[in-house]
Structure 1
């Protein structure tokens, strides 16, 4: 679960704690920078481990909410003879977890982050601690603004201080993390074969949008958890406001409407365009159109798929492959001491 999701959940959970792995050494299930939410009622969203740390973190929630004070927790699983973590630990490293009560300042910050994510913008969240690590201050910036500042300064914005209780962890007084919005998967068409594609799209980390002019098909009952846009191509295009990070799939099986959509897509930038149908149909669909960027047709990886569910899996697999390639390319462009976290954001290293 990504920060995009956690910010949305924090907006509806009145009493919750944000847990973040602020330091990871050695082998671990998740990487530095990943977060999860734990609620007073015992609900957990996201994960930091394969399940071995979460119950201990959950036991600390009441105290953190009662004191309204941040807390650091150390989990040192490096000793090979330490069997206290059980058989399901799945890791053998050192993890330092920061627990933060989601109260006035952090709640406001997460609300603003969610608004940026919904607009497709990446953000950088900076946590600044006092020298006793008892207080914290938050600042968010649009990622491009933070990148410009980092480029001009020529160094990472990490301040260190002689630590007291946390000295052995060597944590900086300021930690910055870059968080990416969930990429949008825009599916044109709301037929029955779209349902498993939308469901899998959500499960593999996309913000799914289904667009169709047939109102009886484009419903919340058929597509729970999906954003719906109703209208013909000329009507939905201004609403969709397609961006360079969007993934687009044509599955309406309506030749004239898909041709109309592709004509409107001609001058847009996007990350992926998949078209359902045979090579012959796609060739007719693209006839006389300028070459379209990032085109995948026939859509999906070749896995011998048969039927809507298996075809949806092949499409989801191709989307994952393309998304992973895009993340790897961005990671190469953002090295400057930044390590990639596995939940879709970039977290500053030491």
Structure 2
């Protein structure tokens, strides 16, 4: 689950904590900087481990919410002879998790971050620790404006970890029966810096032109894969919230929807309407625009006709989807989602080209066969 999602969820969950892996050494399920939300009612949003740590984190939620105080928690699963984790061990690394009550200034920060994400802006969040890690200051700024002082937007807030003694609880957990240790010096022993920054990108948009039945599983998997899904079609009876729940819908013909979509360089586009004239019109209107991905559903013969006399199109994937032997709408949707993930994970244009050289595409848009 992306930070984009967590910020939105935090707005509707009145009693929750934010858990973030601030240090990771060795093998771990997720990377340093990943976060999740845990509620007082026991609901988990996102994950830090494959299930090894979440139950212990959940046990700390009520205390953190009651004290309104942050906690640092150590999970050291490196010793091979340590059997205290039982059958749930799945990482084998060292993970330091910061648990923060989502209230006051942090809730405000997450709300502002969500606003930036919705506008398509990347955000940099900085935590600065003071008074032996008992106080924390949050700062957010638009990541793309870091070099532009005039346009830079910065919000600074201070959050006091409220506790009568002014101390923070530091717990080292190596097994179910290990008691917590209250020691501020332990944070320094872990090498946690006094300032931690992380950049978060907004969800990339996946624009699907077409609202047929085969689009439904693609939209669903696109959401699960971390995309902000938009379905566009000129057929109002197909383009409905009942068919596409929690998806942005745009109704109209290509020349009508193009100004509304306002396609940007980070957008992913799929043509799945199966309507040749409309898709041809859309591609003509796409000329000169920047985008990250363009996938065309259909056979190579159909695609060749569709592209006839058009200037070369950037980031073209046709036939769409990876070759996984897919058959039927659900499996084809999986092959498309897999290709979208591959392209999303390619951090640079050069990496994307390298990845594409190794991708084997489906032989047509309806039956992806291996070989």
| TM-score category, normalised to shorter length | 0.7 to 0.9
Among 212, 236, 243, the alignment partner of 1:215 is 236
Which TM-score applies when normalising by structure 1?
Answer: 0.87
Tell me which residue corresponds to 1:159: none
Q: 1:165-209: CA deviations, max 9, x gaps? A: 412111111100011112111100000010111111112221111
Q: 1:207-257: CA deviations, max 9, x gaps? A: 111111111111111112211111111221122111111110000111121
The answer to whether 1:256 aligns with 2:277 is yes
Aligned partners of 1:69 and 1:135 also within 8 Å: no
Tell me which residue corresponds to 1:126: 126
The answer to whether 1:73 aligns with 2:94 is no
Which TM-score applies when normalising by structure 2?
Answer: 0.82
Among 270, 273, 292, the alignment partner of 2:313 is 292
Structure 2 CA distance for aligned equivalents of residues 330 and 4 of structure 1: 25
Q: 1:47-83: CA deviations, max 9, x gaps? A: 1111111111111111111111111111111222111
- Equivalent position SS for 1:87: helix
Tell me which residue corresponds to 1:143: 143
Tell me which residue corresponds to 2:301: 280
Structure 2 CA distance for aligned equivalents of residues 330 and 43 of structure 1: 38
Tell me which residue corresponds to 1:187: 208
The answer to whether 1:270 aligns with 2:291 is yes
Q: 1:248-278: CA deviations, max 9, x gaps? A: 0000111121111111111110010011112
Tell me which residue corresponds to 1:44: 44
Q: How does 1:194-209 map to 2 (within 5 A)?
A: 194-209=215-230
Count of residue pairs the alignment pairs up:
318
Structure 2 CA distance for aligned equivalents of residues 329 and 48 of structure 1: 30
Deviation at residue 147 of structure 1 after TM alignment: 6.0
Deviation at residue 326 of structure 1 after TM alignment: 3.5
Structure 1 CA distance for aligned equivalents of residues 63 and 331 of structure 2: 47
Structure 1 CA distance for aligned equivalents of residues 10 and 276 of structure 2: 42
The answer to whether 1:173 aligns with 2:194 is yes
- Equivalent position SS for 1:178: strand
Deviation at residue 304 of structure 1 after TM alignment: 2.9
- Equivalent position SS for 2:98: strand
Structure 1 CA distance for aligned equivalents of residues 215 and 347 of structure 2: 24
Structure 2 CA distance for aligned equivalents of residues 166 and 325 of structure 1: 35
- Equivalent position SS for 1:217: coil
Q: Tell me which stretches of 4 or more aligned residues in structure 1 moved more than 4 Å.
A: 327-331
- Equivalent position SS for 1:316: helix
Q: 1:124-161: CA deviations, max 9, x gaps? A: 10001113211111111111233679xxxxxxxxxxxx
Distance 1:80 1:302, change over 3 A: closer
Select the structure with the greater relative contact order (CA < 8 A; seq sep ≥ 6): 1
Aligned partners of 1:128 and 1:138 also within 8 Å: yes
Deviation at residue 303 of structure 1 after TM alignment: 2.6
Structure 1 CA distance for aligned equivalents of residues 65 and 349 of structure 2: 38
Structure 1 CA distance for aligned equivalents of residues 188 and 290 of structure 2: 48
- After TM superposition, the structure 1 stretch with the greater mean CA deviation from structure 2, 13-22 or 224-233, is 224-233
